[in-house]
Copies of this chain bind each other. A is one copy, B any other.
Amino acid sequence: MVFAPTGLVTLTTDFGLAEPFVGIMKGRILGRLPSARIVDLSHGLPAGRSDLAGFWLGQAWRDFPAGTLHLAVVDPGVGTARGVTLAECGRQLLLAPDNGLLPEALRGSAGVAWRTLDPGLPDRLGLGRLSRTFHGRDLFAPLAALLAAGELEPADFGPRASAVDPRPLPRPCRTDDQVQGEILVADRFGNLISNIDAGLLRGLDSPGVALGAHDLLLAPTYGAADPGQPVAVVNAFGLVEIAVRDGSALDALGAGPGATVVIRNCGGHTEG
């Protein structure tokens, strides 16, 4: 279970693509590791929302092969004394500011080895003076390149240490006869993704999903609803999701992130 780098690096930021911030990071990575293969995961995350960046990185990192390094820079504390976290899990590395992003991404993962950056390492690596506003360029990109090149071993990154998690995403609550959770995010299609993992539904024979005034049956696929009608499904990440077929649940249902979702055994009257 040793990390053997392959030069594959993913990037997750809240930098957007309108300015060349992400491109600049790639330039710094390619300057140190010309053979790097760089994949964008997302750069359109809400500004400063390290928790949501962690959520999405958590849905994505397992789909990459062993030897991948995942760099995530959502860093509202840039320039302050916040730490830097490296996590090794499943023969992959994840690197991010120590602000809760990686604990969210790795929630429930077994066998994570956590390290925190030795504050003297950037100087010893010759990274030069860091700007106060763009550590993605000055600190994270070179660290990622060195780790992905195998020139910096995880063991030399810094001491073992647990990561902070100041703002964990809300967790669902399971009682005997129901699960209560909430909508975490609306995706590009207006689908409303909850924090309720399908594993929590065991024992609910005929699960009915309540979102505000909407009562929905849990269906196998979007196509189970008529066009324009709402439907609840277990999505590809194993989470309960409320969608509107060929439409946007976010627009149509008057509910978005933060809305309560309740799932209970259901008879009676339902939509969907």
Choose one: B24, B28, B132, B246; the contact of A233 (CB below 8 Å): B132
- A60: which of B23, B42, B43, B60 is its contact (CB, 8 Å)? B23
Q: Is the CB of B77 within 8 A of A223?
A: yes
- List B contacts of A223 (CB < 8 A): 77-80
Among B60, B65, B132, B221, the residue within 8 A (CB) of A24 is B60
A78-100 vs B, Cβ < 8 Å mask (1 yes, 0 no): 11100000000000000000000
Nearest CB in chain B to that of A227: its residue: B76
- Enumerate chain B residues within 8 angstroms of A31, measured Cβ to Cβ: 63-65
Contact among B24, B38, B185, B220 for A59, CB-based, below 8 A: B24
Number of identical protomers: 3
Check B28 against A63 for contact (C-beta < 8 Å): yes
Question: Could you tell me if A221 and B19 are in contact, using CB atoms closer than 8 angstroms?
Answer: no
With A10-B23, A23-B42, A27-B64 known as contacts, the answer to whether A188 contacts B18 (CB < 8 A) is yes
Determine if A200 is an interface residue (Cβ-Cβ < 8 Å): no
From A6, A21, A47, A77, name the one whose CB has the most chain B CB atoms within 10 angstroms.
Answer: A21
Residue of B17, B27, B40, B233 near A23 (CB, 8 A) is: B40
- Chain-B contact segment, one of A120-128, A133-141, A165-173: A133-141
Which of chain B's residues have a CB closer than 8 A to the CB of A6? 34
A44 B28 Cβ-Cβ under 8 A: no
Q: Does A161 contact B (CB under 8 A)?
A: no
